[in-house]
Amino acid sequence: MVVLMRMRLRREVEGKLDSSVVVTGNILINNKKKSLYSKEVELFLGTLTVKVALTFSTNMRLPSKMTEEEINKVVEETIVKMGLEDCTNTRIGNWHSRGISNGEKKRLSIDHEILTQPYVLLLDEPTSGLDSASAFYVIHALCNIAHNGKIVI
């Protein structure tokens, strides 16, 4: 349901629906109603490793005609861009199982977005809740992306 709602909202923003169309519905997570503007929801399955999560995302988001070698290359490049080499084979973790740090999770979520190589990367408070070292790594990675010709806002 969440994915469908996002797709409908995206279509409305892109102008594919008539302006008179009103999109309604409920967002249910584990049969509990959630607000579209609720707190941050975990994006990744905590039992997966960083590399497996990114590989899965790449398979879902990039063209299906890509070979396994091309997909692995994209995943490896994005892992290096965000400085996640040390935790590549570490589980992400969740509320009951320890995994990567909050800073690494933040970089992983940014990594998830740069898989598709967007021209513009818009981030809302990418360093909020991070300690100074983690914030440094996030900003350093974003600077590298900007220096490679992408627009980072």
DSSP string over 46-86: TTSBHHHHHHHHHHHHS-TT--HHHHHHHHHHHHHHTT-GG
Mean pLDDT of 119-143: 86
Computed over every residue of the chain, the mean pLDDT equals 78
pLDDT, one tens digit per residue, over 17-76 is 566 777 677 777 777 776 655 455 556 777 888 899 899 888 888 888 888 899 899 899
The C-alpha angle with vertex 80 and arms to 79 and 81, in degrees rounded to 5, equals 90
Boundaries of domain holding 10: 2-34
**What's the CA gap between 29 and 92, in Å, rounded?**
20
Clarify whether residues 102 and 138 are in a common domain.
yes
Clarify whether residues 104 and 76 are in a common domain.
yes
- In this structure, the dihedral spanned by the alpha carbons of residues 106, 58, 81 and 102, taken in order and rounded to 10 degrees, is 20
**What's the CA gap between 129 and 139, in Å, rounded?**
14
**What's the CA gap between 65 and 102, in Å, rounded?**
34
Residue 127 has pLDDT above 80, yes or no: yes
Question: Does the residue 44 lie in any domain?
Answer: no
Clarify whether residues 80 and 29 are in a common domain.
no
Residue 133 has pLDDT above 80, yes or no: yes
Residue that wins the pLDDT comparison between 128 and 27: 128
Question: Does the residue 29 lie in any domain?
Answer: yes
Question: Does the residue 120 lie in any domain?
Answer: yes
Number of domains in the chain: 2
Query: What local confidence, expressed as pLDDT, does residue 78 receive?
Result: 87
pTM of the model: 0.66
Query: What local confidence, expressed as pLDDT, does residue 105 receive?
Result: 85
CATH number, domain with residue 110: 3.40.50.300
The C-alpha angle with vertex 123 and arms to 117 and 126, in degrees rounded to 5, equals 115
